[in-house]
Amino acid sequence: MAGKVLYKSSVRHDLKQIDPKNAERILREIRTVIGANPRGGEALHGEFAGLFKLRVGDYRVIYTLVDEDVLVLRIRHRSKVYG
């Protein structure tokens, strides 16, 4: 059973930069994919080792596992997420 999905405070700012339709789609994907299976995203490598990403259209959700919970760190456009 999956734990809770938690959001870093900066995610609120990230979501304000995204149009409402895409923001709702992203949140829905977080609930269904990550909420059901925290390892449902793709593991990152290199300097981002230990983090996971979830692709939602042109956006990326970057998250980490904290015990049994998921902590969403960033939600950004794919061209800006790793910079």
Domain ranges of the chain: 5-77
Other C-beta atoms within 10 Å of 7: how many? 17
Could you give the maximum distance between any two Cα atoms of the chain, in Å?
A: 33
Q: How confident is the model at residue 12 (pLDDT cuts 50, 70, 90)?
A: very high
pLDDT value at position 14? 96
The rounded distance, in Å, linking the Cα atoms of 40 and 38 is 5
Give per-residue pLDDT as tens, 25-49: 999 999 999 988 998 899 999 999 9
Residue 23 has pLDDT above 70, yes or no: yes
Of 47, 36, 81, 45, the closest CA to residue 56 belongs to 81
Structure tokens at 65: 């596992």
The C-alpha atoms of residue 7 and residue 13 are separated, in whole angstroms, by 11
5-77: CATH topology: YaeB-like fold (3.30.2310)
| 18: pLDDT strictly greater than 60 | yes
Residue 21, phi then psi, degrees to nearest 5? -65, -45
pTM, rounded to two decimals: 0.92
Average pLDDT, the chain: 93
